Amino acid sequence: MKAKLASRVLSGDTIAAAKLISGIADEAPGAFEEMSHIYPHTGKAYIVGVTGSPGAGKSTLTSNLIGHFRKELMTIGVIAIDPTSAFTGGALLGDRIRMQQHGEDKDVFIRSLATRGLQGGLAKATIETIHIMDAMGKDIILVETVGSGQIEIDITRVADTTLFVMTPEAGDAIQMMKAGILEATDIFVINKADRGNADIIQTDLQTMLSMRHWLPDEWQPSIIFTEAIYDKGTAELALEISRHREHLTVTGEMQKRKKLRLRLELMETVEGLIKDSIAGIDHGKYLDKLIDELLKGKINPQAAAQQLVKRLASDLGRVNNNP
């Protein structure tokens, strides 16, 4: 990778952006050097996370939001996260075909991130892809996942506004509580609201939300009804996203979320550096030896960890002193 991708990304070149995103995911040499030219041009985009149960209509809803924001002349980035398995490969991407209606629009840039095969963590890869789209000049970045559980919660840690899309079918509400999604959601979207039980799930949600004590300045999650397949409710949802954005700005919460995101990115980068350093001690033999001693009961995990950190510090210190 030559050190000129970044300048092409900054001029909005989608081919260069796609290359850099792949480079980051693969930890290609030079990719981090490129990123150092990207960072100074970030911090302007607004990030919307689209989470929810499989089959709830997240892709259709995302496509509707793209259409709406484009009418407002905003430029859009979309990151589609696929927790695909080795068995199914990228087959789930078929779902995303609906978004292809925007594929010809040069102001809509859509990339998929597969969770398998990522060298670093998912959160880190997502944040770096956000940086690249941000530096391209995208106004809004939609991060959509087909996953559930932990992945959803990770997404909420990188988004400014997090949507949770659900259908009126029973079971969703309980699933949600289990995964801790309730605390992590800014706007609940009840999609397929033409179905019978929309009011029941609304009542369930309101009951659960009322069980929590809300601080005066705190955002209380709102509930929006949509019928994504008919593009109904899209304008209301977009307005609610604006209302939440306004709230974050006025209360200073936006700055706090940015800081949390930076802390997460920093800690994940540190973790990556340290894992690499550990794997590199005596070309991995040191770690293997420690694990063998653990297996034989010659040392306990706490003592082994302390020994490893000590060795790590000594090795890193040596590198620091011999530049």
Interaction with a copy of itself in 13-32: which residues (CB under 8 A)?
32
CA 31 to chain centre: 20
276/266 Cα distance (integer angstroms): 15
Q: Is 146 in the site for a copy of itself (CB under 8 A)?
A: yes
Distance CA 69, CA 240 (A): 13
Stretch that binds a copy of itself, among 10-18, 56-64, 140-148, 226-234 (CB under 8 A): 140-148
Residue 177, classed as helix, strand or coil, is helix
Tell me the C-alpha distance between 84 and 81, whole Å. Answer: 9
Does 297 bind a copy of itself (CB under 8 A)? Our answer is yes
Q: Which of 224, 226, 79 is nearest to 146 (CA)?
A: 79
Q: Please say whether the dihedral angle defined by the alpha carbons of residues 133, 139, 145 and 149, taken in this order, is positive or negative.
A: positive
Residue pair 253/245 in contact (Cβ under 8 Å)? The answer is no
Map the footprint of a copy of itself across residues 54-73, applying CB under 8 A: 54-55
Binding piece for a copy of itself, criterion CB under 8 A, among 56-64, 81-89, 98-106, 215-223: 81-89
Among 7, 100, 101, 175, binds a copy of itself (CB under 8 A): 175
Task: Rule CB under 8 A: say whether 305 interacts with a copy of itself.
Answer: yes
Cβ at position 136, least distance to a copy of itself in Å? 17
Candidate residues 4, 15, 43, 284; the one interacting with a copy of itself per rule CB under 8 A: 43
- Is 250 among the residues that bind a copy of itself (CB under 8 A)? no
Residues 182-241 that bind a copy of itself (CB under 8 A): 182-183, 208, 211-212
285: number of Cβ within 10 Å: 9
Cβ nearer to a copy of itself, comparing 238 with 290: 290
Among 178, 213, 283, 285, binds a copy of itself (CB under 8 A): 178
Nearest residue (CB) to a copy of itself, 70 versus 98: 98
Q: Max CA-CA distance within the chain? A: 70
Between 115 and 234, name the residue whose CB sits nearer to a copy of itself: 115
Nearer to a copy of itself, 84 or 226 (CB): 84
Number of residues near a copy of itself (by CB under 8 A) = 75
52 — alpha (psi -120 to 50), left (phi > 0) or beta? left
How far is residue 46's CA from residue 157's CA, in Å, rounded to a whole number?
A: 14
